[in-house]
C-alpha cells in the first residue's frame, strides 16, 4: 500500500465520478481501490483493453 505521497489527483467528468463513487460505496470499498482493481483487470484482459481504447477514441471524437 502506498503513502499519500504516491497518489495523484486526476480530473474526471462529474457523471463518471458519481458512477464510480456509487459503485464503490455500494460494494463498501474505497474509490481508489476500485480504480486500482479496474486498471489491474484491464491490464490482464487484452479484449477489455481494446474495448476501452475504442470507447475512449469515440468519446474523444465526440468532445471535438
Angle of CA points 6, 21, 46, to nearest 5°: 70
Residue whose C-alpha is closest to residue 23's, from 33, 34, 12: 34
Q: For the chain, what percentages of helix, strand and coil (3-state, to nearest 5) are there? A: 75, 0, 25
Quote the pTM value.
Answer: 0.76
pLDDT one-digit tens code per residue, 46-60: 999 999 999 999 999
Find where cell 463513487 sits.
Answer: 21
Beta strand extents in 1-64 (DSSP E only)? none
User: Does residue 36 contact residue 25 with C-beta atoms inside 8 Å?
Assistant: no
pLDDT one-digit tens code per residue, 5-21: 788 888 999 999 999 99
Amino acid at each position: 500500500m502506498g503513502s499519500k505521497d504516491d497518489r495523484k489527483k486526476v480530473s474526471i467528468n462529474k457523471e463518471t465520478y458519481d458512477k464510480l463513487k456509487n459503485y464503490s460505496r455500494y460494494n463498501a470499498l474505497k474509490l481508489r481501490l476500485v480504480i486500482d482493481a479496474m486498471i489491474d483487470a484491464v491490464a490482464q484482459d487484452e479484449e477489455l483493453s481494446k474495448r476501452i481504447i475504442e470507447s475512449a477514441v469515440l468519446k474523444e471524437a465526440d468532445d471535438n
